Structure 1
Amino acid sequence: MDDVELAVGPLSEIRKDTLLLSIAKEYLCEDLFLVKIGKDIEHNISRLKEDISALKKKFPGKFAVEVDTDNILEKIKATALTLIDPKADIKENFRSGELGRKLGSDLKSISDAVNIIRTQVLGKRAVYTREEAVLNQFTKLKDMGSSFADKMVLVFKILFCIILIAAAAFVYLYYTMEREEPLKKEITEIQSLISERQNRLAQTESRRDEISKEIKSLEKKDMARSEKIALMDLEVEIQKLNQDRDNYEAEITAGEKEIADRMEKIEEINKTPFIKRLLRQ
């Protein structure tokens, strides 16, 4: 094998498998497919490790730039082993594209490392075939598309959150802004209370008139002891009725004032634009 071609073949095969993992996703999420890809990657990692070792032996001295390829290869091999025995979380990472992105990142790292070694050993980088060049370009385009798609998803998520917050704020402001209906309901309740107090006031006045007549009839003649006691009882009752009358009149006056205040508030609401009421300005 030409020294320049060392590691090119295994890298190309791993790149093809990585591309499949990146674009297949849901369509080929089957154990058989994942196991095959995992075994292919594991096999090519072994080949790549041998080629890198052979490439390093071509250099007699010490490398100016030391590259730890073993660590990167172990990461890729660990990923391959998870594919050979796929668990539920691995399948989920596969569907989401996370597995392909991780493997693609590790593949780029090992490719860069191999090129650094090759440049120091041979003084030139690897020459890729047209197929590999197309795969590299496709991978770059896919990564760009994936990055753009991720950004668009993030933008849509942010917009959705903004719309959701705005909708929640509108609903809150709408249901808490001043409206006529609650005031009209309060006016109806106060009118009912005033009507009930007016009825009681009328009954009180009627009873007072009756007692006043009784008192006058008793005062016109000489009163026996029992009549004096009856007169005292009537006077006590009329005092209580006077107190009740004053209370009813005060409640009616207060109710009428409350109605006037609410009617004024309704008129103010009708004059205020909807937006100002919504924003409480």
Structure 2
Amino acid sequence: MPAPTRFGVRDLLVELVDSFAGQARAKGLTLRLGPGDAVVETDRVLLRSIVQNLLGNGLRYTARGGVVIGVRRRGGTVRIEVVDSGPGIADGDRSRVFREFERLANAEDAGLGLGLAIVARTAALLGAGVELDSRVGRGSRFAVTLPMAEGAVAAVPARTVAREVGPLSCLIVDDDAGVRRAMAALAGSRGHAVRVAATVDEALAGMAEEVAFVDHDLGGDVDGLALIARLRAARPGLRAALVTADASRTLAEAAQAAGVTVLLKPLSGEAFDGWLAAPGKA
């Protein structure tokens, strides 16, 4: 596992709430971030993956009401809680939902097993605990507990050291039309000029943009990292980010070796702006 970093949990939760805000609005649900913050020293990418999975499940299986996420300090530990008003999970099913490929009888809960199995495995890598408290018909509370770090946050979030960014020419590469539209709308709303591409050939054709956001899995023989290398060969000095739902250590290390920043899907406006504005980002 990469060396742990020290950071404030609230910054990570703000990022996630921002990224899921559109999904919540589309379903008519509320999504709230409670007060509180704490400093932890762990792998930020893996912790983000855990909380993203729990938050995504909460919104996916909640039909009315909403989801609240927050941070509690208990002694020397930090407890991140995701509380939803969904259908709840019966006592007899609580251990099953953490097993891979398990499916609950309630159709609303279909698919929970695999995602929560990933949560449990990732938490084990971090030495974190995962707890579930639920009432059928009342909702569920998932909690991730890990040690609290001492001292101040080591890294300043990108948005606090941001510089002003004028209009840029942006290339967006993704084989999913919906993702292309969403990212083009995001970039366009910031005043940037946008070109979208669905394939490697389209991306390379007439390459002249200043920055590129490239999906990792492009559905062919060339992945996002390989495409970024080819784009940089055609456009020296290109700033490029890999946009992916893959939060694995393997990909993170490969991207770091290539000098490419990884931005996790769903990409929030805050993460988009922060990467563009952060000095020194490749």
TM-score of the superposed pair, with normalisation by structure 1: 0.23
**Structure with the higher strand share, 1 or 2:** 2
Query: Which fold has the larger relative contact order, with Cα–Cα distance below 8 Å and residues 6 or more apart in sequence?
Result: 1
TM-score of the superposed pair, with normalisation by structure 2: 0.23
**Structure with the higher helix share, 1 or 2:** 1
